[in-house]
Amino acid sequence: MSLNEIGIRYDPKNIETKWYSFWLEKGYFSPKEGEDTYTIVIPPPNITSKLHLGHALNITLQDILIRFKRMQGYSVLWIPGEDHAGIATQTAVEKFLAAKGQHREDLGREKFVEIVWDWANTYRKTIKDQIMLIGASVDWSRERFTLDEGLSKAVRKVFVSLYKKGLIYKGKYIVNWCPRCKTVLSDEEVEYSEHDGKLYYIKYPFEGENGEIIIATTRPETMLGDTAVAVHPSDERYRAYIGKTVILPLIGRKLKIIGDVHVDPKFGTGALKVTPAHDPNDYLIGQRHNLEYVNIFNEDMTINENGGKYIGLDRYKAREMIVEDLEKEGYLVKIENIKHSVGHCYRCNTVIEPMLMDQWFVSMKPLAEKAIKAVENDEIKFYPERWKKVYLNWMYEIRDWCISRQLWWGHRIPVWYCQDCGHINVEENVEKCEKCGSTNIKQDEDVLDTWFSSALWPISTLGWPEITEDLKRFYPTNVLVTGFDIIFFWVARMIMMGYEFMDEKPFSDVYIHQLVRDKYGRKMSKSLGNGIDPVEVIEKYGADPMRFTLAILAAQGRDINLDVKYFEVYKKFANKIWNATRFVLMNLEDYEEVPLENLKLSDKWILSRTQKAIKRVTEALESYEFNIASREIYNFFWDELCDWYIESVKKRLRSEEKNLVQTVLVKVLDTSLRLLHPFMPFITEELWQKLPVKGESVMTVSWPEYNENFIDEVSERKFDTLMKIIKGIRNVRAEMNIPQTTKVEITIKGEISKEEEAYLHHLGNVSKIEYSAEKPAQSASAYVDEKMEVYVKLGELINIQSEIERLSKKVKKLEQDAEKFRKKLSNQKFLNGAPEEIIEEAREKLQNIENQITKISEIIENLR
């Protein structure tokens, strides 16, 4: 085989585009015929920007599973697609237009939506290109978008169905309002953070008598909407006040004092101002006591006509003026500095405002019942399992879901209001009023929450509401790979909708992948400037090293602290794979496959180790232990195949045993490239194509099957012992400053075979082996067990006295280092304050130092 068939150096740019195009042309990404199916639907990326490293991790882990299952013989389908991301996309486009001096209100709804479609198509192409760069083997012929006509039909059908079952309703309720995005947010879309704030103590005077009740509030501007004062009915301080009336300062409204168990007697003064239109808890109090609801805000958070002289002021400006007026008129008692949790819009970070508004809601508790039982009974399993409890805790306390959004981009709510008779028409499509027949109808202006359409993703992407062949064949899907942050937004809702409309789970497993952080453990963000662009990583290191890095760091239940130097480490691994394959190809002259007979010790060892690698990698992938699977194949390929087996057979490749060694090398390398393929698809395809094996592509050949017939525990033990002896000899050389190229003589107390002697001569660079029952003078121990001792004879190789002095100095320095760690680990302040991983790292370093001291001390004793 000519060396021209493989370049001297691994260059990912030369192979990645070539092989992705080849796979596409061959149609390998589409499912083949067969009853055993394996399906994944991709979590659709938002069309707001290009992909980040979290997306790269998510896509890589899915592709590993998909390629693994495809090679196992399943009919595999991986559906790609993108999410229209209502709020996020509309916000991004509005910012884009604002930079050009344009506003959506000036353009009008139709023109604005047209511009957003252009944006969507641009970013959909960008996202698709990036997914291809990563090497994802998704079926592009089935690519979907959450605003596709087919998916829109599914959304309309679900809305109408739930409405007619009484599970969708419209009503006034306290919702989270974002004044920047000018839309409602669900509870899950509000992000809370600690802020420095103030607690204002205000007098509310009694009507017709002296005295007052003092209220503490963080938002004095909302007092404009107060309609009662509440105290806990068992609070001795205020029990006698219940039923009395106070006067609302600055406004003059009469407020009843009521008793309600919701009031926390320990907060502030224990008396609560009740603003039913602007606080969710106050809203419930208002319902219980039949209070008036006074809305004081416009949608832009300026004070409306109910705010008296403060009308038109921004909420924060109104707060300033109200506090000033309270102080002037003697109502302000004091102001305290506090820290409190404040809700923000998850998209634009604006402080949200609770508002009483007419919105559309889904009644969730009836939908949640089957979705709860499915996870309780492990019909749907979470990996890692701890997320099961997180899911269930949220589901047990689930609240109704506000699904209407005051946006222009998204699925328009399928509700039409008759302008003549007032009838509400709820159908998938309406041309005239079903009650009076009038065509003077107007569709609801709002759109549905993005997550409403995303909740249907596993069924809508397969063609539902039509009962398509794909739906019958590939539903339910097998696994969902996603992040923890959308368990409530998305995972739970998909499970509920799957049971509601298919009467079956949408997937069997939910794998919650890691969060990719920077090397210091900080979340990657634009503000910190610590993000890593996967496209830049691919350009510098290649897609395969990036994929392998992410996989080997993906330990279940632990976030990834990523240092860019890791990509360099696994680029070296790719180089190792390339160079090892190149060496094998260089030595396949006159190759002829022969039966695996008359095997030598190293042959039996590597064939046995290959089977164990197959078993471990397969088991790890089946249980979503991506890091363990990666580590197993890494250690097997680099340490066992390259560093030991290939080194052990170099001389035999020039002997009469050449064909046997070639056959073993091809078999093991073929297996290794197959095991590596799901992790590193491009380099494995390039190299596998050069091997003298049958098949059109490594992607379509079978996954290696574990064969117990090749397991040889005796040969493994013998060769493992040889490796330990050789490592011991190399360590002695290193400790005694003897070059590794210098031949040494060894003495063995015990017995080994002539074949084993040959390995020691070749791999240990041993010139002479003697057998003796006594330990030789002037020697260093290389290996000891219950049956054998091996010593390196030092003799003329070193100056004994100089070495004793050098090693003694080294022990003294190590003792000083060890003492520093002992003091640190005996310091209670350090033990109580340091993170556990730092303490454990200190313990490991001390243990390593002490081991070195013991080892070097033994060498010194031997030399003496």
What's the pLDDT tens digit per position in 567-614? Answer: 999 999 999 999 999 999 999 999 999 999 999 999 999 999 999 999
- Using DSSP's 3-state secondary structure scheme, residue 583 falls into helix
The token pair that represents 60 in the structure block: 């890589």
Confirm if 552 and 569 have CB atoms less than 8 A apart.
no
CA distance 661 to 657: 6
Environment class of residue 377 by beta-carbon count within 10 Å: exposed (0-12), middle (13-18) or buried (19+)?
A: exposed
428-434 contacts: CB < 8 A, separation 24 or more? 428/153, 428/156, 428/157, 428/160, 429/156
Question: Is the peptide bond preceding residue 12 cis, with omega within 30 degrees of 0?
Answer: no
Residue 4: pLDDT band (50, 70, 90) is very low
In a domain, 258, yes or no: yes
In the chain, how many domains are there?
A: 5
* Cα–Cα distances in angstroms (integers) from residue 419 to residues 415, 426, 438, 441, in the given order: 13, 15, 8, 6
CA distance 387 to 394: 11
The verdict on 787 and 827 lying in the same domain is no
Residue 161 CA, chain-centre distance (Å), reads 34
* Strand locations in 704-853 (E): 744-749, 766-771, 779-784, 789-793
Confirm if 811 and 860 have CB atoms less than 8 A apart.
yes
Query: Residue range 828-835: average pLDDT?
Result: 81
Confirm if 717 and 695 have CB atoms less than 8 A apart.
no
Nearest partner of 259 among 280, 276, 236, 275, judged by Cα: 236
In a domain, 208, yes or no: yes
DSSP 19-84: HHHHHHHHTTTS--S-S-EEEEE--PPBTTS---HHHHHHHHHHHHHHHHHHHTT-EEEEE-EEB-
Query: Residue range 762-790: average pLDDT?
Result: 89
The verdict on 772 and 753 lying in the same domain is yes
Global confidence as pTM: 0.84
The token pair that represents 601 in the structure block: 């010790």
The token pair that represents 530 in the structure block: 């610590």
Lookup result for tokens 């006295």 = 801
Task: Give me the helices (H) in 147-232, please.
Answer: 149-164
Query: Which pLDDT score, from 0 to 100, does residue 1 have?
Result: 38
Query: Which pLDDT score, from 0 to 100, does residue 810 have?
Result: 85
In a domain, 837, yes or no: yes
* Cα–Cα distances in angstroms (integers) from residue 176 to residues 167, 279, 351, in the given order: 21, 10, 10
* Domain extent for 152: 23-159+454-537
The token pair that represents 99 in the structure block: 């930079």
CA distance 558 to 553: 9
CA distance 510 to 381: 6
- Using DSSP's 3-state secondary structure scheme, residue 419 falls into coil
In a domain, 437, yes or no: no
The verdict on 847 and 859 lying in the same domain is yes
Residue 134: pLDDT band (50, 70, 90) is very high
Residue 778: pLDDT band (50, 70, 90) is confident
pLDDT digits (tens, 9 = 90+) for 456-474: 999 999 999 999 999 999 9
Query: Which pLDDT score, from 0 to 100, does residue 705 have?
Result: 96
Strands 228-231 and 271-274: antiparallel
Query: Which pLDDT score, from 0 to 100, does residue 469 have?
Result: 96
Domain of residue 491, CATH code: 3.40.50.620
The verdict on 655 and 576 lying in the same domain is yes
Instruction: Give the list of residues 6+ apart from residue 586 with CB closer than 8 angstroms, or none.
Output: 1, 3
Neighbours of 407 (CB within 10 A): 23
* Cα–Cα distances in angstroms (integers) from residue 367 to residues 14, 112, 477, in the given order: 52, 35, 20
Query: Residue range 541-547: average pLDDT?
Result: 97
pLDDT digits (tens, 9 = 90+) for 498-532: 999 999 999 999 999 988 888 888 887 766 777 88
Residue 798: pLDDT band (50, 70, 90) is low
The verdict on 639 and 785 lying in the same domain is no
Q: Which of 3-7, 130-134, 368-372, 773-777 has the lowest mean pLDDT?
A: 3-7
b/e 83-114 (16+ beta carbons within 10 angstroms → b): bbbbbbbbbbbbeebeeeeeebeeeeeeebbe
Give the dihedral sign, CA 569/570/572/576. positive
Whether the pLDDT of residue 3 is over 60: the answer is no
Residue 460 CA, chain-centre distance (Å), reads 24
Whether the pLDDT of residue 118 is over 80: the answer is yes
Strand partners, 583: none
Residue 581 CA, chain-centre distance (Å), reads 33
Last residue of a domain, one of 660, 682, 711: 711
CA distance 327 to 202: 9
CA distance 444 to 446: 6
For the chain, give the number of residues. 864
Confirm if 238 and 206 have CB atoms less than 8 A apart.
no
* Cα–Cα distances in angstroms (integers) from residue 863 to residues 736, 785, 852, in the given order: 11, 21, 17
The verdict on 246 and 346 lying in the same domain is yes
pLDDT digits (tens, 9 = 90+) for 38-70: 999 999 999 988 899 999 999 999 999 999 999
Confirm if 67 and 136 have CB atoms less than 8 A apart.
no
In a domain, 7, yes or no: no
The verdict on 617 and 752 lying in the same domain is no
Question: End-to-end alpha-carbon separation of the chain, Å?
Answer: 56
The one-letter amino acid code at 417 reads Y
Residue 346: pLDDT band (50, 70, 90) is confident
CA distance 12 to 14: 5
CA distance 616 to 859: 38
Query: Which pLDDT score, from 0 to 100, does residue 34 have?
Result: 83
Strand partners, 213: 204
The verdict on 630 and 513 lying in the same domain is no
Neighbours of 58 (CB within 10 A): 23
pLDDT digits (tens, 9 = 90+) for 667-725: 999 999 999 999 999 999 999 999 999 999 999 999 999 999 999 999 999 999 999 99
Domain of residue 762, CATH code: 3.30.2320
Strand partners, 173: 357
Last residue of a domain, one of 669, 690, 711: 711
Residue 298 CA, chain-centre distance (Å), reads 39
Nearest partner of 356 among 222, 203, 480, 239, judged by Cα: 222
The token pair that represents 426 in the structure block: 């709820």
Whether the pLDDT of residue 340 is over 50: the answer is yes
For helices 534-541 and 565-586, the axis angle rounded to 10 degrees is: 40
Domain of residue 694, CATH code: 1.10.730.10
The verdict on 598 and 517 lying in the same domain is no
The phi, psi pair for 338, rounded to 5°, reads -140, 165
Give the dihedral sign, CA 214/196/312/353. negative
* Cα–Cα distances in angstroms (integers) from residue 181 to residues 89, 144, 154, 265, in the given order: 11, 27, 27, 36
Confirm if 611 and 709 have CB atoms less than 8 A apart.
no
The verdict on 140 and 209 lying in the same domain is no
pLDDT digits (tens, 9 = 90+) for 150-199: 999 999 999 999 999 999 999 888 888 888 888 888 776 788 888 889 99
Give the dihedral sign, CA 592/596/602/606. positive
Residue 7: pLDDT band (50, 70, 90) is confident
Mean pLDDT of the chain: 92
In a domain, 381, yes or no: no
Q: Residue 533: CA atoms inside 13 Å, Cβ hemisphere, count?
A: 10
Q: Is 523 annotated as a binding residue?
A: no
Query: Residue range 193-217: average pLDDT?
Result: 92
Give the dihedral sign, CA 562/563/564/568. negative
Nearest partner of 155 among 364, 396, 421, 362, judged by Cα: 362
Last residue of a domain, one of 654, 686, 711: 711
CA distance 402 to 174: 10
Give the dihedral sign, CA 194/196/201/202. negative
In a domain, 806, yes or no: yes
pLDDT digits (tens, 9 = 90+) for 413-452: 999 999 999 999 999 999 999 999 999 999 999 999 999 9
The verdict on 245 and 152 lying in the same domain is no
Nearest partner of 493 among 162, 165, 57, 160, judged by Cα: 162
Q: Which of 152-161, 502-511, 647-656, 793-802 has the lowest mean pLDDT?
A: 793-802
Domain of residue 841, CATH code: 1.10.287
CA distance 593 to 287: 84
Confirm if 75 and 137 have CB atoms less than 8 A apart.
no
Query: Which pLDDT score, from 0 to 100, does residue 5 have?
Result: 67
The token pair that represents 586 in the structure block: 């260089």
Give the dihedral sign, CA 211/213/219/222. negative
Nearest partner of 768 among 744, 797, 748, 736, judged by Cα: 744
Confirm if 60 and 133 have CB atoms less than 8 A apart.
no
Q: What is the chain's Cα-based Rg?
A: 36
CA distance 368 to 201: 43
The verdict on 145 and 44 lying in the same domain is yes
In a domain, 576, yes or no: yes
